[in-house]
A and B are shown apart, each in its own frame.
Chain A
Amino acid sequence: GQQLNQSPQSMFIQEGEDVSMNCTSSSIFNTWLWYKQDPGEGPVLLIALYKAGELTSNGRLTAQFGITRKDSFLNISASIPSDVGIYFCAGQSDTSGSRLTFGEGTQLTVNP
């Protein structure tokens, strides 16, 4: 099946720092989603992107849909301790119907 490469796998940062993570694919995607998973919980949608080149913000979070439709990045500005968790990218393509393909996740740790 399709695969998404998400990097980095983990990040350890100080409170107040900015964070950037990205996902790349060998296939073209029509939709990119970014989820956050808190410990013991299910993933929660942060940002959805539907158009190549689209740049969308949600508070301190900004995500972009790559112009080639094969990548996306998520930035978090001025990180705070509650940003801790696993961040997943997910993509949907023409050939996958409503199915989502997920990246392996980025584990973020924020030191106060």
Chain B
Amino acid sequence: EAQVTQNPRYLITVTGKKLTVTCSQNMNHEYMSWYRQDPGLGLRQIYYSMNVEVTDKGDVPEGYKVSRKEKRNFPLILESPSPNQTSLYFCASSLTGGGFTEAFFGQGTRLTVV
């Protein structure tokens, strides 16, 4: 089954403790991205990757890092989480970064930083 898989689904952590949210897709998609969803703000892009070893900042990249060592994986790293990073996070992938194609989303990771 074609899917985007995020882990964990829920995470509660303390300020300053490094964490990683994993994202994996099995569709051989080139383009992957991370979004955060906050009430009244819709989905805002954090980082995106056009292909392996190619990443770039989205609209709200501060406090986040990403890596794209393999095509299928695109982990989101919070080196020193803060309470304002409490949010619902979504990973998405699409076929190509050339012509635009629809994005497929993971089920989300609800992160709480206390």
Contact = CB atoms under 8 A, between A and B. Distances in A.
Interface of A: 1, 4, 6, 9, 30-31, 33, 35, 40-45, 48, 88, 90, 92, 97-100, 102-105
Contacts of A9: 40
B102 A98 contact: no
Contacts, number: 58
A9 B39 CA distance: 11
B100 A31 contact: yes
Interface of B: 4, 31, 33, 35, 40-45, 48, 50, 58-59, 90, 92, 94, 96-98, 100, 102-108
Contacts of A30: 100
Nearest to B35: A102
* Residue among B35, B43, B106, B107 with most chain A CB within 10 A: B43
Contact of A33 (B4, B102, B108): B102
Instruction: Find the residue from A90, A97, A98 having the highest chain B CB count within 10 A.
Output: A98
B26 to A, nearest CB: 15
A1 B59 contact: yes
A1 B59 CA distance: 7
A98 B41 contact: no
A48 B100 CA distance: 11
Contacts of B31: 98
28 contacts: A1-B59, A4-B42, A6-B42, A9-B40, A33-B102, A33-B103, A40-B107, A40-B108, A41-B107, A41-B108, A42-B90, A42-B92, A42-B107, A42-B108, A43-B90, A90-B43, A90-B103, A97-B97, A99-B33, A99-B48, A99-B58, A100-B103, A102-B44, A103-B42, A104-B40, A104-B41, A104-B42, A105-B42
